[in-house]
Amino acid sequence: MKHFVYGNEISTNTLKETKSIIFGGGCFWGLEKRFWELSGVVLTSVGYSGGKTENPSYEEVCSGFTDHAEVVKVDYEPNDIELKDLLKVFWEAHDPTQGMRQGNDIGSQYRSVVFIEDEADRNVVELSMKLFQE
């Protein structure tokens, strides 16, 4: 299946030259659209992450019992866009101070989260969070 925006094949495996990061910042559709506009992003996909139920349905996630967050996975070319630039878009696209909500969307699935796939990215994410908190 091809991605609607990028035309790339959608796959669970990313290409060798790309990196991935997963963001949760409210409804995944709105957040995902913000990343479509960035040069260097090669694929986005949405789903649920961080919970205890395998392959939960929308209704299960909305129940609050699965502990999942709505997320967008961003695959990007690190030679074309830096992680700090992706994080800037993430922090500016939502209000993490709202807790378990974003605007009218209320529930633990709308919390602010970042899941890293590369441990080397942890310091960049934590520094970014600190800078935007200030």
Active site residue 62: no
Which is catalytic among the residues 5, 27, 62, 113? 27
Q: What is the pTM of this model?
A: 0.88
The percentage of residues in the chain with a pLDDT greater than 90, rounded to a whole number, is 60
Quickly list DSSP for 80-111: TS-HHHHHHHHHHHS-GGG-SEETTEESGGG-
Burial of 42 (0-12, 13-18, 19+ CB in 10 A): middle
Read off the pLDDT of residues 38-88 as tens digits, 9 standing for 90 and up.
999 999 999 999 999 999 999 999 898 999 999 999 999 999 999 999 999
Given a contact cutoff of 8 angstroms between Cβ atoms, the answer to whether 7 and 82 are in contact is no
| 10-33 average pLDDT score | 82
Q: Which 8-state DSSP code applies to residue 46?
A: E
Q: What angle do CA 24, 79, 50 make, to 5 degrees?
A: 20
